[in-house]
């Protein structure tokens, strides 16, 4: 469903009324397209404190060119060397003069260091960057996003910086991303980094799952489109359009993992757990079937299938598991105790499994947590609730399935091996639970 309010605020009467009434004024977001794959403008690289990251070569490969216009499309502030409260003044001094000049739909990325439990002064200063980043994201407006990346090795963060400094991250803001470990080899074909890799997406016959499958195919993956047998016609339609393979299968079946492994004897490189359902009721009105059906599809099947595929060795070394959590599992949502529980459970799975899966199987485990995304499901939400969902984030609009898909593709990237155990919200920096 079209966001008519967003369209209206782009007109002269809309700009006048929203300014006079103090209403949200969302800016149209600049998203990736083949015709315009990069941000328009240059990159401004700033430093607060003393840094030894050696960022210049990485930024030369990942971001826009150096800015000489005074209106950068992207600003990267390296604050990884900040060690105390006094050093935070350098963060203010670096960004204060330039924030207003950042171009519409621009990017601000703050780089910090992991929190050091052995140095509580440095940990306090580095944690302060999180509050700073989230607050700045709520101030900038004009479609500008602000994110924090904690890292120790600049090349290991290359795929992350490439994503955050591009139009692909249009609906990702106010996030804190940990990059640990060392750089993975960069694919020879930057435009099709998943070439030669097989990706399976559950719940891929429509909506967000279809967008994920399409984006992974764009990036070169051989896509296996999985959905329930009742949606076989749509499953085959999507697979045929993407040059992939259809796999009609009930993901809640006890042997679903074994059947996937049998269907893919050459193994799997990317597993995307997207299948999910809602059965909303307040707890006092929720029967046991509504509870159990949501937990079964959204969480139990994810656990069973993941365990089975790892045990069978179906996921190759260097593989990626990307699960779908939700803002509802982080902030909660009235009428969704079952859904919120299931999606919070996905977060627990990711954080607990990630270190083991990487150490034992060479596979990373991450999650995307969508906020209000424009789908057929949200189009059926009552008008005023739908409008609240759209406006209650820093970008004052709903996201698109493509926003979730682009984030998934970044986590699935062969060079994203240093990103593990992360839950990244694709919510425009929702003002609920943000």
* Residue 272, SS3 per DSSP: strand
Are the C-beta atoms of 48 and 78 separated by less than 8 Å? yes
Are the C-beta atoms of 286 and 337 separated by less than 8 Å? yes
Q: Is 332 exposed, middle or buried (0-12, 13-18, 19+ CB in 10 A)?
A: middle
Are the C-beta atoms of 177 and 55 separated by less than 8 Å? no
Q: H/E element holding 81?
A: strand 74-81
Of 413, 397, 419, 408, which Cα lies nearest the Cα of 210? Answer: 408
Are the C-beta atoms of 2 and 8 separated by less than 8 Å? no
Q: H/E element holding 290?
A: helix 288-295
d(CA 208, CA 400): 8
Paired residues of 430 in beta bridges: 393
Number of residues in the chain: 434
Beta strands in 99-197 (DSSP E): 107-112, 145-150, 176-178
User: Read out DSSP for 312-337?
Assistant: TT-EEEEEEEEEE--THHHH--TTBH
Distinct helix (H) and strand (E) counts, the chain: 16, 12
Active site residue 5: no
Of 32, 171, 339, 372, which residue is the catalytic one?
A: 339
Active site residues: 339
């Amino acid at each position: 469903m079209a966001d008519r309010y967003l369209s209206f605020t782009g007109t002269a009467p809309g700009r006048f009324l929203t300014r006079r009434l103090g209403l949200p004024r969302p800016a149209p977001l600049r998203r990736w397209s083949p015709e315009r794959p990069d941000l328009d403008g240059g990159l401004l690289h700033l430093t607060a404190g003393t840094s030894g990251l050696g960022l210049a070569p990485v930024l030369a490969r990942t971001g826009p060119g150096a800015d000489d216009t005074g209106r950068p499309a992207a600003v990267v502030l390296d604050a990884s060397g900040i060690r105390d409260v006094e050093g935070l003044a350098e963060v203010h001094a670096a960004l204060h003069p330039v924030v207003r000049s950042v171009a519409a739909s621009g990017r601000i990325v703050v780089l910090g260091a992991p929190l050091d439990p052995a140095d509580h002064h440095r940990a306090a200063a580095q944690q302060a960057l999180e509050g700073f980043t989230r607050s700045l994201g709520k101030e900038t407006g004009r479609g500008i996003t602000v994110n924090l990346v904690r890292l120790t090795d600049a090349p290991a963060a290359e795929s992350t910086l490439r994503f955050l400094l591009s139009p692909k991250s249009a609906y990702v803001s106010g996030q804190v991303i940990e990059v640990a470990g060392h750089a993975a080899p960069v694919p020879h074909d930057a435009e099709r980094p998943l070439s030669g890799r097989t990706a399976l997406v559950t719940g891929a016959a429509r909506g967000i799952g279809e967008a994920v499958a399409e984006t992974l195919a764009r990036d070169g993956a051989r896509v296996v489109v999985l959905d329930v047998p009742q949606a076989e016609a749509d499953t085959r339609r999507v697979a045929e359009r993407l040059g992939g393979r259809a796999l009609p299968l009930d993901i809640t079946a006890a042997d679903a993992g074994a059947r996937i492994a049998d269907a893919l004897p050459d193994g799997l490189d990317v597993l995307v757990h997207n299948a999910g359902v809602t059965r909303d009721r307040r707890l006092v009105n929720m029967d046991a079937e509504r509870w159990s059906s949501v937990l079964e599809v959204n969480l139990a099947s994810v656990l069973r299938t993941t365990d089975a595929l790892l045990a069978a060795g179906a996921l190759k070394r260097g593989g990626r598991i990307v699960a779908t959590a939700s803002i509802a599992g982080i902030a909660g949502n009235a009428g969704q105790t079952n859904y919120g529980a299931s999606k919070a459970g996905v977060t627990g799975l990711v954080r607990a499994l990630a270190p083991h899966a990487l150490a034992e199987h060479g596979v990373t485990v991450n999650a995307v947590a969508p906020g209000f995304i424009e789908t057929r499901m949200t189009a059926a939400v009552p008008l005023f609730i739908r409008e609240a969902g759209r406006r209650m984030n820093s970008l004052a609009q709903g996201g698109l399935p493509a926003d979730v898909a682009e984030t998934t593709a970044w986590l699935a990237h062969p060079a994203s091996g240093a990103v593990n155990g992360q839950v990244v919200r694709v919510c425009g920096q929702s003002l609920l639970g943000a």
